Amino acid sequence: MPGGSPSCRTLEGKAVNGKLWKAGQVALWMALAGSAHADSGATIHVPEYIPDSYAQAGTRVAIAPGRALNLRCEGSGAQTVLLEAGSHADTTTWFKLQPLLAASAKVCSYDRAGYGFSDEGPLPRTLEAEVADLHALIQHANLRTPLVLVGHSRGSSIARLYAQRYPADIHGLVLVDPPAQDIASVAPEWARQEEQMNAQRFAFIRECEAGAEKHQLASPPPALARCVAGSNPLADAKVNAAIASYKYKPAFWRTLRSELEDNAAVYGRPVSPKETLGALPVIVLTASDTYADAPADVRQKLEAARNKSQAAILATTTHGERVVVDHASHDIQLDRPEAVASAVTALLKKTTAATH
C-alpha cells in the first residue's frame, strides 16, 4: 500500500486554493445574496431551493437493454466532474454544488438505479454493481475521461472502487465525508446496537416494500404511515410530488434494502490493506459536525473511528489531503457547497497542470 504523509487543514479561517473562506461570513453572505464567486471572479447564483427542473428527468441514458439512468449535466469546458450521491440519495443532493462547478467545467450528476428517474437495476445492489453501472453510464453518455469523481458518503466508496477498477478514467477523487468503517474496533457497544437497529430497519423496509407492491403508499393505512416521509422543505410541491412518486414504487424499497444490506457489510469491515490508488490525487473532506447529536463520549468514539478510516483511505495514495470543513453536517454539499467546490477546483487545477 502506498505510503505518503497526507496533510490535514481546517477550512475555517485558513487559505484554501489561495482564497480565504471565513465560514460564518460565507454562510451569512450566501444566505443573503444567494450567490458565490467562481474561480474566475464571476458571481454565480447558488439556489436556495431545489429548482423545478428536478421535477422531471434530465437525460435518460440507456446503459443496458431495458435500463436507463437519469443524467443531469450543465456547464462546459475541457474537464468533466461527475457527482456520486450517498446512500438512497438522488441528484437533488447536488443542487447547490452543481451550478458552482458548472462555471469552469462540465459537471454531471445522476440517479443510481432504483432512485429518482432511473430504472431499477439487478439485485443485489453492491458496490461492484454500482461501479459497473457507472462505467456503463460514462461510456454510453460519452463523458470525457479522465474525469474528476466526487463521492459523498456511500458514493465515496463507489468512487474509490471505480478508481481501482478503471484508473484510466479518473483524474482525481474528492471524497465528501467518507463514513467510518469497522466501528466495532473503536466503539463495540455502538456497533452492537447498530446491528440490532439494522434488523429493525430491514423489517420496516420490507413492510414498506410490501405496501408499495399493493399500491398503498400514496394513501397509506396507519400501519404504513411511517413509510411516507414528510416533504423536503428545500423543494416546492412539484418537486416533492416527483420525489414521492418514485418512493411509492416497490423498486425504490427493493433497492434501498439491498443497498443498506451492502452498507452493513462494507462499513462493518476496515479499509482493505490491499486497496491502492497509486499516485491518484485524492482530497477527503471531513465534516466537523457529523456526530453533533451524539452524546459527548459516544461522539468522541465515532469521530475516532471515522478519522481512522479516513486516514486509511488517504494512505492508499501518495497524493492525499484531508480538509476539515467547519459548520457542516455529514451533508457538506448542502451545508457548505463552496467548500466542496473549492476542493474540486483545486483538483482540476492540479490535473490541468499535470497535463501541460
φ, ψ for residue 352, nearest 5 deg: -65, -45
Secondary structure (DSSP) of 268-282: TSPPPTT---BT--E
Same-domain pairing of 13 and 159: yes
109 domain residue, yes or no: yes
CA distance linking residue 2 with residue 164, whole number of Å: 13
CB-based burial label for 339 (10 Å; 0-12, 13-18, 19+): buried
DSSP β-ladder status, 320-325 and 282-287? parallel
Same-domain pairing of 212 and 166: no
Same-domain pairing of 228 and 280: no
Same-domain pairing of 90 and 217: no
CA distance linking residue 356 with residue 353, whole number of Å: 5
Same-domain pairing of 309 and 220: no
Q: 64: number of CA atoms within 13 Å, CB side?
A: 12
CB-based burial label for 57 (10 Å; 0-12, 13-18, 19+): middle
CB 308 within 8 A of CB 267: no
H-helix or E-strand spanning residue 305: helix 296-314
Three cell numbers, residue 74: 450543465
Same-domain pairing of 16 and 137: yes
User: In the prediction, which pLDDT does 29 show?
Assistant: 27
CA distance linking residue 10 with residue 14, whole number of Å: 7
295 domain residue, yes or no: yes
Distance, C-alpha 180 to centroid of its chain: 15
CA distance linking residue 247 with residue 256, whole number of Å: 10
Domain assignment of residue 254, given as a range:
190-263
CB 87 within 8 A of CB 222: no
CA distance linking residue 278 with residue 266, whole number of Å: 22
213 domain residue, yes or no: yes
Same-domain pairing of 43 and 119: yes
Same-domain pairing of 88 and 222: no
* Amino acid making up residue 146: P
1 domain residue, yes or no: no
Please list the residues that pair with 84 across neighbouring strands: 151
Residue found under cell 439494522? 198
Same-domain pairing of 128 and 35: yes
296 domain residue, yes or no: yes
H-helix or E-strand spanning residue 22: none
175 domain residue, yes or no: yes
Same-domain pairing of 217 and 150: no
User: In the prediction, which pLDDT does 36 show?
Assistant: 55
H-helix or E-strand spanning residue 44: strand 43-45
CA distance linking residue 354 with residue 339, whole number of Å: 23
215 domain residue, yes or no: yes
CB 289 within 8 A of CB 328: yes
Closest C-alpha to 135, from 110, 153, 98, 172: 110
Three cell numbers, residue 320: 492525499
Closest C-alpha to 84, from 164, 138, 1, 151: 151
User: Using N-to-C axis directions, what is the helix angle for 250-266 and 237-247, rounded to 10°?
Assistant: 80
Question: In Å, what is the CA distance from 328 to each residue of 83, 98, 256?
Answer: 19, 18, 25
User: In the prediction, which pLDDT does 229 show?
Assistant: 86
CA distance linking residue 238 with residue 258, whole number of Å: 29
Q: What is the CATH number of the domain that holds 172?
A: 3.40.50.1820
Same-domain pairing of 280 and 246: no
2 domain residue, yes or no: no
Per-residue pLDDT of the chain (356 residues; tens, 9 = 90+): 334 433 444 333 222 332 223 333 233 223 323 345 555 556 778 899 999 999 999 999 999 999 999 999 999 999 999 999 999 999 999 999 999 999 999 999 999 999 999 999 999 999 999 999 999 999 999 999 999 999 999 999 999 999 999 999 999 999 999 999 999 999 999 999 999 999 999 999 999 999 999 999 999 999 999 999 889 999 999 999 999 999 999 999 999 999 999 999 999 999 999 999 999 999 999 999 999 999 999 999 999 999 999 999 999 999 999 999 999 999 999 999 999 999 999 999 987 766 64
User: In the prediction, which pLDDT does 350 show?
Assistant: 84
Q: How many domains does the chain have?
A: 2
